[in-house]
């Protein structure tokens, strides 16, 4: 497996591979790789001839007071996970290359970037969109793999690829969970033992919401209230928001029918966790 420090080397390497007929897969991550990331790399390795993984903790997507400084970083461990999952190349660029001080261009996501996570974390999705656009431009024609775990991010990335005509096929991959239902996340490492025991309430709340829809509930407000009530019954967890949305537009439906996505965000101690679940009304 090849390891690069400069993302600027990607186009030359990947262009040569494409010229040789190779299908290129690309998996952008912020490192601290776990089985969720590995599932993206494995899927890419199944579907492509070459898989590049990016490990880059993107400062643009952290707000003031968020956990940029303390976000877990362990490139040596990441290389082991990436190689085992089938990566051919890992690029771990520096902030100086990805976001140089003189940079003055950003990608701004309008409506889709201002709701849900965008409202809770102003500028977050613009930060994601700016770095993902740059990385996808460097990767060039490829299939790019993103997790449903960060559902709004996946929708935003699909939208930006379409809006900016990038030659990229976005592949959404299912959320990998621990046995107790907690979605794997690099941030789970920041939970205390007690907080980790409380964390499954997010998935439990989503499942309760989905079950009520399957049982015939058609009022989104009732489902949102139910999800909130389940989360708030857990004293260590503070609800940020619960929502039921259209999975393509993230719009709030008037009545619950067809494909839907339930979303939840909550604070568990000092750690903010998000989760989501698909259901049909």
Residue 124: active-site member? no
Q: Report which of 199, 198, 117, 217 is spatially closest to residue 157, judged by C-alpha positions.
A: 117
* Three-state secondary-structure class, residue 236: coil
- Residue closer to ligand AMP by CB (options 29, 52) is 29
- Residue closer to ligand AMP by CB (options 184, 244) is 184
52 counts as binding ligand AMP under rule CB under 6 A: no
40 counts as binding ligand AMP under rule CB under 6 A: yes
- Residue closer to ligand AMP by CB (options 138, 176) is 176
Count of residues near ligand AMP by CB under 6 A: 17
- Residue closer to ligand AMP by CB (options 25, 36) is 36
134 counts as binding ligand AMP under rule CB under 6 A: no
30 counts as binding ligand AMP under rule CB under 6 A: yes
Torsion of CA 100, 104, 110, 112, to 10 degrees: 0
Q: In which element (H, E) is residue 51 found?
A: strand 50-55
155 counts as binding ligand AMP under rule CB under 6 A: no
Q: Which two tokens stand for residue 29?
A: 């991550």
152 counts as binding ligand AMP under rule CB under 6 A: no
Stretch that binds ligand AMP, among 91-99, 171-179, 202-210, 229-237 (CB under 6 A): 171-179
Q: Which of 7, 14, 24, 36 binds ligand AMP (CB under 6 A)?
A: 36
Tell me the backbone φ, ψ of residue 237, rounded to 5 degrees: -120, 130
- Residue closer to ligand AMP by CB (options 175, 212) is 175
184 counts as binding ligand AMP under rule CB under 6 A: yes
Q: Report which of 141, 131, 71 is spatially closest to residue 105, judged by C-alpha positions.
A: 131
Q: In which element (H, E) is residue 173 found?
A: strand 168-173
* Three-state secondary-structure class, residue 261: strand
Task: Tell me 215's DSSP state.
Answer: T
271 counts as binding ligand AMP under rule CB under 6 A: no
188 counts as binding ligand AMP under rule CB under 6 A: no
Q: Which two tokens stand for residue 222?
A: 């009732």
Burial group, residue 12, by CB count within 10 angstroms (0-12, 13-18, 19+): exposed
Q: In which element (H, E) is residue 206 found?
A: helix 201-214
Q: Which of 17, 24, 26, 29 binds ligand AMP (CB under 6 A)?
A: 29
The active-site residue, picked from 22, 34, 37, 50, is 37
Site residues, ligand AMP (CB under 6 A): 29-30, 36-37, 39-40, 146-147, 149-150, 173, 175-176, 183-186
| Catalytic residue set | 37
């Amino acid at each position: 497996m090849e390891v690069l420090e400069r993302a600027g080397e990607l186009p030359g390497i990947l262009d040569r591979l494409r010229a040789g007929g190779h299908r290129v897969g690309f998996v952008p991550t912020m490192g601290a790789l776990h089985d969720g990331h590995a599932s993206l790399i494995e899927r890419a390795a199944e579907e492509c001839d070459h898989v590049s993984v990016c490990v880059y903790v993107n400062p643009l997507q952290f707000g003031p007071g968020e956990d940029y400084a303390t976000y877990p970083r362990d490139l040596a461990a990441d290389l082991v996970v990436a190689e085992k999952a089938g990566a051919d190349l890992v690029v771990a660029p520096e902030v100086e290359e990805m976001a140089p001080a003189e940079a003055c261009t950003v990608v701004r996501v309008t409506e889709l970037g201002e709701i849900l996570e965008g409202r809770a974390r102003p500028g977050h999705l613009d930060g994601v969109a700016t770095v993902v656009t740059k990385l996808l431009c460097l990767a060039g024609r490829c299939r790019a793999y993103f997790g449903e775990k960060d559902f709004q991010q996946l929708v935003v990335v699909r939208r930006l690829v379409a809006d900016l005509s990038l030659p990229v096929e976005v592949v959404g991959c299912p959320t990998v969970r621990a046995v107790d239902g907690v979605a794997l996340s690099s941030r789970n490492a920041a939970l205390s033992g007690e907080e980790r025991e409380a964390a499954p309430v997010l998935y439990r709340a989503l499942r309760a919401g989905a079950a009520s829809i399957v049982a015939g509930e058609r009022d989104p407000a009732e489902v949102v209230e139910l999800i909130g009530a389940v989360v708030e019954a857990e004293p260590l967890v503070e609800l940020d928001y619960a929502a039921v949305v259209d999975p393509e537009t993230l719009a709030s439906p008037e009545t619950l029918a067809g494909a839907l996505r339930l979303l939840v965000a909550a604070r568990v101690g000092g750690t903010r966790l998000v989760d989501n679940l698909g259901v049909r009304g």
